[in-house]
Amino acid sequence: MLQINNITVVRNDTVLLQNINLLLPHGGKAVITGPSGSGKSSLLAVINGTLSPLAGQVFCNGIEVKPENLSKLRQFLAMIEQEPVLAAEKVDEALLLPFNFRLNSQLPKPDRKELENVLTEFDLPVHILNQLCSELSGGEKQRIAVARIKLLHRQVILADEATSALDDRYCEEVLNYLLTPELTVLAVSHDPRLIERFPVILKVKDHTLQQCGDRI
């Protein structure tokens, strides 16, 4: 569940978004479109807790997004970026990286079999596990970043142009993941392949969010 109440987003003294309200129920999916620089990514930064809003509140699965709640929040919230950062040397290290953090210590560390399964699901060859992250293509990196989030069983996903750099085939795999019924997803995208599959489409206009088409 994601609830945004009267959020105002300011960056470098410019008001980007004003009085934003949004309610995404558990399993809900919405995509925000709009010109670049209109504050879409900043809104995601407010939701993930890295940017403080000028006004308003965000609740994620009932927990208010504020500095003292960030670790609680990140147990179920994840972010997919356009250019993912794997932050490891090799692919298997990248996939297992979050399991070294104390916050994720109650999650069982995936074994080799589990890693192979998740790779297959995203159409990645098993031998990629031993490859260097620096040798991967953009599409491979993105799918590994998504696979990593899948291994963490996060429930609320913020996706910032998650599919924009992907071929149709790989875009489909990432979309299939994002459209898993139990995931709550708020995406920011210009990608028509993503937009047409999302039930709720919101557009940034005059610093507010306007609903374009509700296909629920």
Partner 1 sequence: MTELSWLGMGLIYIILIIPIILNRILGLKISRNLLQTVIHMSLQLILIGYYLEVLFRLNNVWLNIGWLLVMMLIANITTLKRAHLGIARMLPGQFIAIGISFLTVLFYFLLVALRLSPWYDAAYLVTIGGMLLGGIMRGNVVALERFYSALQQRNREFMAMQLLGATPKEACKPFFVESMQAALMPHLANMATVGIVSLPGMMTGQMISGGSPLIAIRYQVAIMVTMFVAMELSSFLSIKFSIRKAFDERGNLKTDL
Residues that bind partner 1 (CB under 8 A): 48-52, 67-68, 70-71, 74-75, 77-79, 81, 83-85, 87, 97-98, 100-104, 148, 152
Minimum Å gap between C-beta 113 and partner 1 is 22
Minimum Å gap between C-beta 42 and partner 1 is 13
Minimum Å gap between C-beta 214 and partner 1 is 30
Residue (108 or 192) nearer to partner 1, CB: 108
Contact 147, 162 (CB under 8 A): no
Minimum Å gap between C-beta 24 and partner 1 is 19
**Burial level of 96, CB count in 10 A (0-12/13-18/19+)?**
middle
| Nearest 10 degrees: Cα torsion 12, 188, 182, 118 | -100
Residue (142 or 200) nearer to partner 1, CB: 142
Residue (13 or 68) nearer to partner 1, CB: 68
Across-strand partners of 60?
2, 63
Helix H or strand E encompassing 29: strand 29-33
Residue (19 or 71) nearer to partner 1, CB: 71
Taking the C-alpha atoms of residue 78 and residue 74, their distance in angstroms, rounded to an integer, is: 7
Residue (8 or 104) nearer to partner 1, CB: 104
> What angle is formed at CA 205 by the lines to CA 204 and CA 209, rounded to 5 degrees?
50
Across-strand partners of 29?
185
Minimum Å gap between C-beta 202 and partner 1 is 23
